[in-house]
Amino acid sequence: MTPFQLLAIVAGIAVLRGVLSLRPVIAGTSGRSTSIAREFLDPFIVAGVAAWVLITFVARTYYIPSGSMLPTLQIHDVLLVDKFEYRFHPPKEGDIVVFPPPIPTPDDFIKRVIGRPGDTLSVTAGTVLVNGRGLVEPYVADRPAYELAIRNYGIYVSYGAGWQRLDPASANVPPKSMWTAPDRIPPHCYIMFGDNRNDSEDSHIWGFAQDDAAFASGPRKGESAGFTGRAFLIFWPPSQARVL
């Protein structure tokens, strides 16, 4: 349920409560309609408003619809996402983040932060190198079957038959003017990979995620960008429950 849907339900209950409260008191009823409204509807209104505040500003649930984060997250897992943390600091390397991707989709994506603004990054022989350091990634399903390099103000990907630069018309790759160096991730941009590297629609396909402003290029150019929050807990099913 989205915050808008919850707010609509709460508003409907509040209207019903108001209608019942304003009904004329029928002789002999002692105002039972008003008492019923207060006793049964007011708690729903208070709880609904509290829930709306929580899922809008603090935390909300997120359902895993695909296998792009296997084996860390299973299909049908339900997570709690902290929407408050990134108001104080940017995402950290390794965080599992829910965010709107730079491609048209009705749903947010969930991926792992691999590269942050100012980092150098490449994927070589199945190993991710960040600032020249090979990442130890026990969480991945398989090593990536592609190679990737950030260079010459672009993202280049190879599947073994030459390098191809991600096209800014279909991927979020900012123009040269927004970069601070030709081989470093631009400001406010992040490389996001799924743990199921070879079955994940992520930065090696659609470019950079962004933590602020509007997408710089791609099919959602000009639309608002940002991070929904950090996934910190699997709470359903109980057999999978754990802190991430």
Instruction: Kindly state the average pLDDT of the residues 190-218.
Output: 97
Q: Among this protein's residues, is 68 annotated catalytic?
A: yes
Instruction: Kindly state the average pLDDT of the residues 185-213.
Output: 97
Residue 27's pLDDT is 44
Residue 59's pLDDT is 63
| Average pLDDT score over the chain | 85
Residue 25's pLDDT is 46
Q: Which of 21, 33, 68, 217 is catalytic?
A: 68
Measured distance CA(134)–CA(130) in Å, rounded: 6
Q: List, as one string, the DSSP characters of 111-169.
A: EEEEE-TT--EEEETTEEEETTEE---TT-SS--SSEEEEETTEEEEESSS-EEEPPTT
Q: How far is CA 114 from the centre of its chain?
A: 15
Measured distance CA(127)–CA(142) in Å, rounded: 11
Residue 102's pLDDT is 97
Q: Which amino acid is at 223?
A: E
Q: Which of 83, 92, 111, 122 is catalytic?
A: 111
Q: What are 127-148's pLDDT values in tens digits?
A: 999 999 999 999 999 999 999 9
List, in sequence order, every residue forming a beta bridge with 172; answer none if it has no partner. 207
pTM: 0.78
Measured distance CA(212)–CA(205) in Å, rounded: 20
The pLDDT-based confidence of 214 (bands split at 50, 70, 90) is very high
Residue 206's pLDDT is 98
Residue 192's pLDDT is 98
For 159, the token pair is: 């599947």
Residues in CB range of 119: below 8 A, 6 or more apart: 130, 131, 184, 185, 191
Residue 96's pLDDT is 97
Q: What are 42-60's pLDDT values in tens digits?
A: 565 555 444 444 545 456 7
Q: Among this protein's residues, is 111 annotated catalytic?
A: yes
Residue 157's pLDDT is 98
Q: What are 60-89's pLDDT values in tens digits?
A: 788 999 999 999 999 999 998 988 889 889
Q: What are 144-198's pLDDT values in tens digits?
A: 999 999 999 999 999 998 999 999 999 999 999 999 999 999 999 999 999 999 9
